[in-house]
Amino acid sequence: MDLRVLALVLCVAIYSIQGAIPKCCVRTSRSIPLSTLMRVERYDVQHSHGACEIDAVVLHVNGRRYCADPRVKKVLRVAMQIRQAQLMRGN
């Protein structure tokens, strides 16, 4: 087999494997600033009984990921309600 073809096959295989590996939080923070919570675009919940080892709330803010302690989810809900109320008032 030509060396270039082999290299191409290896690159495709590695790229395919990387797409299947989840990006897990390995530690969490309990102190997420309110200003960050107010800018959360969406969040995902990471469970320890899945592919990842710890429970976490993954916050997505301006293209960045923050790994938060699951207890932050309660504060996040309040922050999102405040933001929604501000948007409805036009602030």
The CATH code that applies to domain 3-89 is: 2.40.50.40
Mean pLDDT on 6-12 = 56
Domain spans in the chain, listed from the N-terminal domain onward: 3-89
For the chain, give the longest Cα–Cα distance. Answer: 66
Alpha-carbon radius of gyration of the chain: 19
Mean pLDDT on 80-85 = 86
The answer on pLDDT for 55 being more than 90 is: yes
Beta bridge partners of 65: 60
Is the full-model pTM beyond 0.85? no
- Phi then psi for residue 61, to 5 deg, are -135, 115
pLDDT number for residue 32: 87
Place 3 in a pLDDT band, splitting at 50, 70 and 90: low
Mean pLDDT of the chain: 81
Q: How far apart are the first and last CA of the chain?
A: 64
The answer on pLDDT for 16 being more than 90 is: no
DSSP 55: -
